[in-house]
């Protein structure tokens, strides 16, 4: 049974199209984590679910009722969802107990005694019963966020939306908030969590949505997304890949410019001196091998060099293409090292997982640094 259904959701801010047609069904008990780069629309999507942002197109159904329909009681439907914000949003002029009980008493008709009892039960679950009379300014950020979660639970929501609940916290306080969310996960509460905590998302979520280009770019189980992502932008995000590209269109290319670019790239992302030296040497020898054996005597040179550095395992991969005749630098006899084979010998010693393909008049070489 679905608790949220989104059909064709679109929203723009001026000329910037943030969401380009989101379709999503959230089943009861699902825990969905939304990940993606800054500005990809994750938080905007949550705000649209509460109609805090008005979509340009699309429909939103909450527990079978259309939130986006004309003339509906928006506030009544909203009560089926709890929202936990980045910056807590507790009422500063109310103490903890008042923050927790004011909404259920006024909106749900709960008695003061029942509301107090429920609030104390929730405070006990998050370890804050001693703070019932404290005001927000006297609480740490982690404590405030735990109170904010309790406040959402006071309304008996069908689903809770978390908008990066740890992003405003000191690193020492992140764990206490994540522990509370894990506790809720064990109770099979339906949740949508926008988060940048990848390990937490892997541990808690039943489904991962990766947002990019204004859409759900890829989705799957935590294992599918974190261990075997399929699409390029997901792979780059999960592995925190960084790129350097260089094109060569003439034989008299600027080698110093290329080597300087590699050096800058390496320093920016923390490659070791050994990695940097090997990378520069590999690229130089490969280029000159191909210029000599593939582009020899030809006026047109079409070479592209793409370097990928993955922070997750500190690996460096090289993708190299060169138009011209079929030539594999490592398709040689390396029993004897001679001057003619010196460049290829260097490549053989520095490259691992090496592969060569010739397709449509283009040599495609892929390898990683040894």
pLDDT tens digits for range 214-240: 999 999 999 999 999 999 999 989 888
- For the segment 36-68, what is each residue's pLDDT rounded down to a tens digit? 988 899 999 999 999 999 999 999 999 999 999
Q: What is the CATH number of domain 241-369?
A: 3.30.565.10
pLDDT digits (tens, 9 = 90+) for 282-294: 899 889 888 888 8
pTM tops 0.85, yes or no:
no
Tell me the three-class secondary structure of the chain, residue by residue. CEEEEEEEEEEEECCEEEEEEEEEEEECCCEEEEEECCCCCHHHHHHHHCCCCCCCEEEEEECCEECCCCCCCHHHHHCCEEEECCCCCCCCCCCHHHHHHHHHHHHCCCCHHHHHHHHHHHHHHCCCHHHCCCCHHHCCHHHHHHHHHHHHHCCCCCEEEEECCCCCCCHHHHHHHHHHHHHHHHCCCEEEEECCCHHHHHHHCCEEEEEECCEEEEEECHHHHHHCCCCHHHHHHHCCEEEEEEEECCCCCCHHHHHHHHHHHHHHHCCCHHHHHHHHHHHHHHHHHHHHHCCCCCCCCCEEEEEEEECCCCEEEEEEEEECCCCCCCCCCCCCCCCCCHHHHHHHHHEEEEEEEEECCEEEEEEEEC
User: According to the model, what pLDDT value does residue 322 have?
Assistant: 93
Q: Where are the domains of the chain?
A: 2-95+155-238, 241-369
Q: Which pLDDT tens digit goes with each residue over 94-126?
A: 999 999 999 999 999 999 999 999 999 999 999
For residues 121-150, average pLDDT: 93
290-317 pLDDT, tens digit each = 888 887 665 678 999 999 998 878 889 9
CATH architecture of 2-95+155-238: 3-Layer(aba) Sandwich (3.40)
């Amino acid at each position: 049974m679905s608790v949220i259904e989104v059909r064709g959701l679109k929203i723009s801010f001026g000329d910037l199209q943030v969401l380009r047609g989101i379709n999503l069904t959230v089943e009861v008990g699902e825990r969905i984590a939304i990940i993606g780069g800054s500005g990809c629309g994750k938080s905007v999507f949550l705000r649209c679910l509460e109609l805090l942002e008005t979509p340009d197109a699309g429909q939103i159904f909450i527990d079978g009722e259309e939130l986006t329909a004309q003339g509906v009681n928006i506030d009544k439907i909203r009560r089926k969802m709890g929202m936990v914000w980045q910056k807590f949003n507790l009422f500063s002029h109310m103490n903890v107990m008042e923050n927790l009980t004011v909404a259920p008493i006024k909106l749900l008709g709960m008695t003061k005694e029942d509301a107090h009892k429920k609030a104390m039960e929730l405070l006990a679950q998050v370890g804050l019963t001693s703070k019932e009379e404290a005001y927000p300014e006297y609480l740490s950020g982690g404590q405030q966020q735990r109170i904010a979660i309790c406040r959402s639970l006071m309304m008996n929501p069908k689903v809770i939306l978390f908008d990066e609940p740890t992003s405003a916290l000191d690193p020492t306080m992140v764990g206490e908030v994540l522990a509370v969310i894990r506790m809720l996960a064990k109770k099979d509460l339906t949740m949508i969590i926008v988060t940048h905590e990848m390990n937490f998302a892997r541990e808690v979520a039943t489904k991962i949505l990766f947002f990019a280009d204004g859409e759900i770019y890829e989705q799957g189980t935590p294992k599918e997304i974190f261990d075997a992502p399929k699409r390029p932008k997901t792979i780059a995000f999960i592995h925190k890949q960084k790129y350097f590209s260089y094109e060569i269109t003439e034989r008299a290319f600027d080698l110093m410019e290329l080597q300087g670019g590699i050096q800058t790239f390496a320093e920016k992302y923390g490659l070791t001196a050994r990695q940097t030296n090997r990378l520069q040497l590999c690229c130089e020898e490969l280029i000159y091998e191909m210029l000599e054996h593939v582009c020899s005597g030809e006026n047109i040179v079409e070479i592209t060099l793409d370097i990928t550095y993955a922070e997750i395992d500190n690996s460096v991969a090289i993708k190299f293409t060169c138009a011209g005749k079929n030539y594999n630098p490592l398709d040689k006899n390396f029993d004897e090292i001679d001057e003619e084979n010196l460049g290829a010998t260097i490549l053989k010693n520095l490259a691992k997982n090496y592969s060569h393909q010739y397709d449509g008049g283009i040599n495609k070489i892929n390898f990683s640094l040894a």
